[in-house]
């Protein structure tokens, strides 16, 4: 266990393993040392761009939005003792979160690319959305530390419940009960609720971070133990990369910690650029597009924040130019009209010296001269009455 603190490393102190604390240095380390034992640790933040809210982001997080379920406290939705008394809030949420509705993010595809390149030792995820599997990461490479929707069972007698019936009941927002002859227990997906033990696979693999040659932590607040302790099991000289909107845990306190603070999809794209894997990453992510067989399936990668800003500024300047252009043309036209009317003789009925516009009369220009003073009477046809 390294000496964990949340203080930042002094910029002056040199890393032990990397040539610099930068994503380019990590990319060079992976390629020069042919690093194959990368451990990835993820949380809900890597699925937010798929449309699945995380838990604790203010305003957008699930816990901020569960108030409508009238819970005694937000986490009750995942609390086993609360579930026993009232399973409805969880099944309301399950209806929204159930796998199959969402497409993996480019961050999921980045993890899948690490595996395809033979460099992923293990992925520890806290997520229950199964998007890692949908992105192509094989089950034996994944530790679903908080379980998943993949299987379900009775919370009393542990009898397994069929997957197809579970999917049907969740879609109908019905609460499934045990199929055992004598048991009427509630059925729950194998998601780890507060108050329940983590799966055996977590304990069997928790020695792997100490064997890792590189650790990548993405999209997690590192709030919930024992998952939150994993990064501290990593050896002191092993580089740790955090790709997250905010700094979390002890990441940033060690000499070989690299922080990429911001959107994780943008962060993994930057990482892929440094590795020279960007095209492969975009191609792999495009293959997760459910419409990929349609002719216009290829989706350009979503624009970065900077690209969206540049586009907005360009649009604004275009609008301003257009407005200025119209104004200039209008000014030109008005100037020409004024010049033309200034060179014309005043009509007999008006007195140029006073130059007060005369009230239109039928004998002059059928009453429209005040509208078109520059046009001659014969130009103004007599309106058909």
Window 102-131: residues binding ligand APR (CB under 6 A)? 126
Window 29-58: residues binding ligand APR (CB under 6 A)? 43-45, 48-49, 54-57
Among 264, 268, 272, 281, binds ligand APR (CB under 6 A): 264
CA nearest neighbour of 88 among 216, 227, 197, 188: 188
CA nearest neighbour of 264 among 280, 286, 241: 241
Rounded-to-integer distance, Cα 142 and Cα 133, Å: 8
Residue with tokens 């899948």: 112
> Binding residue per annotation — 37?
no
Task: Pick between residue 198 and residue 255 the one whose CB is nearest to ligand APR.
Answer: 198
> Binding residue per annotation — 55?
yes
Task: Pick between residue 261 and residue 377 the one whose CB is nearest to ligand APR.
Answer: 261
Rounded-to-integer distance, Cα 26 and Cα 202, Å: 27
Task: Pick between residue 78 and residue 161 the one whose CB is nearest to ligand APR.
Answer: 78
CB of 283 to ligand APR, least distance (A): 22
> Binding residue per annotation — 38?
no
Task: Pick between residue 89 and residue 219 the one whose CB is nearest to ligand APR.
Answer: 219
Site for ligand APR (CB under 6 A): how many residues?
25
- Whether 95 is a known active-site residue: answer no
Structure tokens at 186: 């509630």
CA nearest neighbour of 18 among 259, 301, 233, 193: 259
252 counts as binding ligand APR under rule CB under 6 A: no
CB of 311 to ligand APR, least distance (A): 20
Window 224-243: residues binding ligand APR (CB under 6 A)? 224
Window 150-169: residues binding ligand APR (CB under 6 A)? none
Which residue among 146, 203, 370, 374 is the active-site one? 146
Task: Pick between residue 185 and residue 302 the one whose CB is nearest to ligand APR.
Answer: 302
CB of 34 to ligand APR, least distance (A): 28
Stretch that binds ligand APR, among 180-188, 220-228, 314-322, 353-361 (CB under 6 A): 220-228
Q: Cα angle vertex 302, ends 301, 307, to 5°? A: 110
CB of 65 to ligand APR, least distance (A): 12
Spatial neighbors of 266 by CB under 8 A, at least 6 apart, are 304, 305
Task: Pick between residue 6 and residue 351 the one whose CB is nearest to ligand APR.
Answer: 6
> Binding residue per annotation — 130?
no
Q: Which residues bind ligand APR (CB under 6 A)?
A: 43-45, 48-49, 54-57, 61, 75, 78, 126, 146, 219-221, 223-224, 244-246, 248, 263-264
Annotated binding site: 44-48, 54-56, 126-129, 154, 157, 178, 183, 220-221, 244-246, 264
The catalytic residue positions are 146
Residue numbering of the annotated binding site for NAD(+): 44-48, 54-56, 126-129, 220-221, 244-246, 264
Q: Output the known binding site for Zn(2+).
A: 154, 157, 178, 183
């Amino acid at each position: 266990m390294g000496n964990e603190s949340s203080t930042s490393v002094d910029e002056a102190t040199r890393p032990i393993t990397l040539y610099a604390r930068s994503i380019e240095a990590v990319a060079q380390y992976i390629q020069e040392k042919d690093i194959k034992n990368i451990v990835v640790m993820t949380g809900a933040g890597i699925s937010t761009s798929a449309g699945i809210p995380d838990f604790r982001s203010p305003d957008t997080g699930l816990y901020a939005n569960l108030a409508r379920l009238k819970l005694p406290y937000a986490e009750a939705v995942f609390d086993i003792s609360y579930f026993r008394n009232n399973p409805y809030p969880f099944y309301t949420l399950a209806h929204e979160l159930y796998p199959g509705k969402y497409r993996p993010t480019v961050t999921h595809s980045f993890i899948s690319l690490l595996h395809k390149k033979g460099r992923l030792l293990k992925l520890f995820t806290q997520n229950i959305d199964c998007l890692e599997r949908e992105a192509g990461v094989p089950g034996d490479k994944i530790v679903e530390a908080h379980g998943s929707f993949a299987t379900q069972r009775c919370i009393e007698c542990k009898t397994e419940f069929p997957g197809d019936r579970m999917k049907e009941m969740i879609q109908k927002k019905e609460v499934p009960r045990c199929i055992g002859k004598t048991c009427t227990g509630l059925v729950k997906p194998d998601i780890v609720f507060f108050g329940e033990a983590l799966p055996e696979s977590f304990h069997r693999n928790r020695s792997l971070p100490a064997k890792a040659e590189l650790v990548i932590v993405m999209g997690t607040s590192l709030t919930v133990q024992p998952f939150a302790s994993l990064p501290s099991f990593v050896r002191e000289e092993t580089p740790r990369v955090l790709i997250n909107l905010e700094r979390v845990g002890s990441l940033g306190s060690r000499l070989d910690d690299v922080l990429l603070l911001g959107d994780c999809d943008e962060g993994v794209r930057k990482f892929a650029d440094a590795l020279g894997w960007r095209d492969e990453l975009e191609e792999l992510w495009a293959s997760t597009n459910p419409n990929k067989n349609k002719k216009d399936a290829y989706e350009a990668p979503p624009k970065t924040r900077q690209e969206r800003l540049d586009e907005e500024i360009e649009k604004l300047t275009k609008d301003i130019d257009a407005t200025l252009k119209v104004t200039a043309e209008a000014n030109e036209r008005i100037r020409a009209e004024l010049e033309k009317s200034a060179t014309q003789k005043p009509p007999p009925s008006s007195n140029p010296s006073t130059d007060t516009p005369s009230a239109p009369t039928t004998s002059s220009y059928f009453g429209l001269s005040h509208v078109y003073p520059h046009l001659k009477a014969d130009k103004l046809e007599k309106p058909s009455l």
